[in-house]
């Protein structure tokens, strides 16, 4: 029997990159997966097909996590289709903006914190709807562990997610629901835009000697949502090759 057989997972922002890697891994582990996307349905359907090819059920739902009514509808649709939700992985993210504090505009700031607000209310919906013994994992960043020039707003919006999760872990512990965050380092996806010299520098700073891959984060999430991780909650786990 697959390790997540009979479980139902929602993975937000899972049409590409880290989210896709997580959704496909949970599908291979036997979970039925709700794949969410903001704009590219074709990419989301590719993920659904990959999960189906691995022998699990999946569906794609368009969700803008900045809109609370769509977050509510996501859980309602997942339960209507699969009967329950056991796992939530908050991966959806907008554009990460790095600017000195003196230069950050209100709109740029809001664009990042609007996603953070969406994560908060996705956690709220999970608290209402997740089955007892469920699993919640939110994706943060290893940038919360260091002060990065021009990264204050970005790190701040992710640090808030870590605090949301730590508090919720204590609120839901009596139900056997675990709540954790996973903090990647620099990960090689189609959204990574760096000069080769910058990539080489990052690799040199990483003890394990390479950039992260979506599969590396998927492995960490797969562990945390498994039965073997029933004693791990309220933690922020850095899956970053040791760069920090």
Q: Residues with catalytic annotation? A: 154
Question: Residue 55 phi/psi, 5° resolution?
Answer: 100, 5
Q: In the chain, how long is the greatest CA-to-CA distance?
A: 55
Helix axes 17-28, 41-53, angle to 10 degrees: 20
């Amino acid at each position: 029997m697959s390790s997540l057989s009979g479980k139902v997972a929602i993975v937000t922002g899972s049409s590409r990159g880290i989210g896709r890697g997580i959704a496909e891994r949970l599908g291979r582990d036997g979970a039925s997966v709700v794949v969410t996307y903001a704009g590219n349905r074709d990419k989301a359907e590719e993920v659904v097909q990959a999960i189906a090819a691995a022998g699990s059920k999946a569906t794609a739902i368009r969700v803008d996590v900045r809109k609370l009514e769509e977050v509510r509808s996501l859980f309602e649709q997942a339960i209507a289709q699969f009967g329950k939700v056991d796992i939530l992985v908050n991966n959806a993210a907008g554009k990460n903006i790095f600017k000195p504090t003196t230069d950050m505009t209100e709109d740029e700031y809001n664009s990042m914190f609007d996603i953070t607000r969406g994560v908060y209310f996705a956690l709220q919906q999970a608290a209402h709807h997740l089955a007892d013994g469920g699993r919640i994992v939110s994706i943060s960043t290893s940038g919360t562990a260091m002060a990065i020039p021009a990264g204050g707003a970005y790190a701040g919006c992710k640090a808030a997610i870590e605090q949301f999760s730590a508090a919720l872990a204590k609120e839901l512990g009596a139900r056997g629901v675990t709540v954790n965050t996973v903090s990647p380092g620099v990960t090689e996806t189609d959204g990574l835009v760096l000069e080769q010299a910058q990539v080489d520098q990052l690799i040199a700073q990483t003890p394990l000697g390479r950039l992260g891959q979506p599969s590396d984060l998927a492995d960490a999430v797969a562990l945390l949502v498994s039965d073997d991780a029933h004693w791990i909650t309220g933690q922020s786990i850095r899956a970053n090759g040791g760069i920090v």
